[in-house]
Amino acid sequence: MGGVVYQVYIRSFADSGGDGIGDLPGIAAHLDYLTQLGIDTLWLSPVHPSPNVDWGYDVADYRAVHADYGTLDDLDALIAGAGARGIDIWLDLVPNHTSDRHPWFRDRPEYYVWSERIPNDWKSVFTGEAAWRFDSTRRQFYLHQFTPEQPDLDWWNASVRNEFDDILRYWFDRGVTGFRIDVAHGLIKDRRLRSGEKYMRDRPEVHEIFRRWQEVAGEYIPKPTLMGETYVPLERLPAYYAHLDLAQNFPFLKADFDLDELRPIVETTMAELPKGREPVWFGSNHDHSRMATRWAGGDERKHEAALFLILTLPGSAILYQGDELGLEDGTVSKDRILDVADPPRDPERTPFPWTRGGDEWQSPWLPLADTSRNAEDSSILPYTRDLIARRRELGDGYRTLPSARGVWAYARGETTCVLNMTGDTAEHDGAILQPWQGLILPSS
Ligand code: NOJ
């Protein structure tokens, strides 16, 4: 499965060409760094040609590579280079919608969701207005859950399903070993387009799509992994494990970094997880304020506590690029904002600081304002590496153990993890815990 998954936001990771945009050769040039970090899997943000209305999440061709990032050969080389180091490559699959520049939108309009009039109260996530836009050529409205330039595909259409089976095979044949599935909970909508949020997302028919994709994945050895971006409440998460290998836990990410909030989420997740499935934990991504800011408020010890938790809970862990350094949100002035969302997501997408001076980035697409936390002299990086290495010591399962107030203790098989979730010194079973300190204790 995923193990430690490292999420690369390609545009901001490493620029090999000097144009201020990260690219695939840039990632390939940093495979040593990633190997030393100890990760198992690289999840790449969308690599495909895109007009970038939503920075790659508006795909114009599912089988090609965006010229900004390199070529198909570059991607093949990255897959091979990573594979030689035991690192898997996952791509970001965007099956809910395409770009309105995708040839399908003109040549295969029946692939999209149309209506003669605005049929319901569904709202666009980005505009907050009706999720329907009038198309003057077809003289009908089409559905767009996101921007009007991202028309939703009609997953009731058998041809759409066939197209994606082929897209999956195309990438599995090239050596891709998994997909993160964008808007996994929202692919299929109520066939009758009834009003109400519950008819727009988290529909029961969505699971059949994933069942079918597992059949496709089952044609390959080892079977590739399917991880869903599942924005659903905790009690809805187990349903997605019927056919997904991993379902992303957003209630965990969205909680405050607070014992009384997080522990019940972990306990419920573990208790409800279907047999044989594993959870996946993360505190940052390209859509949310980085955990070094949102959870830790810049406090390095608190950030280490968050890393400890994510990396010692059972299952897979995702680090968003920079989490390993305690990288905080960047500062992006109003005139540099490029994102469509409000509030904009640019602060969590700023370039990765490789050096103290930041000279590796010439006129980057988003500003690199602060390089005080960088890969060259980060004090957190050795901590993260060590923790990833020590994951091997941990046993299976999760069981909450009795502990003092403010301390989170849990058994991982024969091993005990203790995390001080306070800014004061604490104690567990005779071991002294500094503020926010986590310890892996041998079995007693
Ligand atoms: C979720 C992606 O992570 C986000 O960046 C994007 O804007 C939406 N899905 C729409 O594709």
Q: Is the CB of 146 under 6 A from ligand 1?
A: yes
- The residues pairing with 153 across neighbouring beta strands, listed in sequence order, are 112
CB 141 within 8 A of CB 116: yes
CB 35 within 8 A of CB 27: no
φ and ψ at residue 174, rounded to 5 degrees: -85, 0
pLDDT at 152: 98
> What is the rounded distance in angstroms from the CA atom of residue 86 to the CA atom of residue 51?
33
Q: Which ligand 1 atom sits nearest the alpha carbon of residue 340? A: 7
Total residue length of the chain = 444
User: CB under 8 Å to 337, separation ≥6 — which residues?
Assistant: 344, 346
Query: DSSP characters for 400-442?
Result: EE---TTEEEEEETTEEEEEE-SSS-EEETTEEE-TT-EEEE-
pLDDT at 1: 64
> What is the rounded distance in angstroms from the CA atom of residue 93 to the CA atom of residue 213?
12
Active site residue 335: no
Helix ranges restricted to H, 206-274:
206-217, 237-240, 250-254, 259-272
Task: At 167, list the tokens.
Answer: 């897209």
> What is the rounded distance in angstroms from the CA atom of residue 1 to the CA atom of residue 316?
8
The dihedral through the CA atoms of 338, 344, 347, 351 has a sign that is: negative
CB 407 within 8 A of CB 388: no
pTM for the whole structure:
0.98
> What is the rounded distance in angstroms from the CA atom of residue 391 to the CA atom of residue 379?
20
Q: Is the CB of 54 under 6 A from ligand 1?
A: yes
Catalytic residue selected from 182, 346, 348, 360: 182
Q: Is the CB of 43 under 6 A from ligand 1?
A: no
Ligand 1: residue whose CA is nearest its atom 11: 57
pLDDT at 2: 63
> What is the rounded distance in angstroms from the CA atom of residue 353 to the CA atom of residue 369?
10
Q: Is beta strand 316-320 parallel, antiparallel or unpaired with respect to 280-281?
A: parallel
pLDDT at 55: 98
Q: What is the number of other CB atoms lying within 10 angstroms of the CB of residue 306?
A: 23
Give the burial class of 236: count Cβ atoms within 10 A of its Cβ; 0-12 exposed, 13-18 middle, 19 or more buried.
middle
Task: Select from 57, 144, 153, 285 the residue to mutate for testing ligand 1; criterion: most ligand atoms less than 8 Å from CB.
Answer: 57
> What is the rounded distance in angstroms from the CA atom of residue 111 to the CA atom of residue 275?
36
Q: Give Cα separations from 94 to 179, 197, 218, 232, 282 (angstroms).
A: 10, 21, 21, 18, 20
Task: At 110, list the tokens.
Answer: 């029946």
Decide: helix, strand or coil at residue 328. coil
pLDDT at 189: 98
pLDDT at 111: 98
Q: What is the mean pLDDT of each run of 10 residues along the chain (444 residues)?
A: 91 98 98 98 98 98 98 98 98 98 98 98 96 97 98 98 99 98 98 98 98 98 98 98 98 98 98 97 98 98 98 98 98 98 97 97 96 96 98 95 97 96 97 98 75
Active site residue 32: no
In angstroms, what is the span from residue 74 Cα to ligand 1's centroid?
25
Q: Is the CB of 287 under 6 A from ligand 1?
A: yes
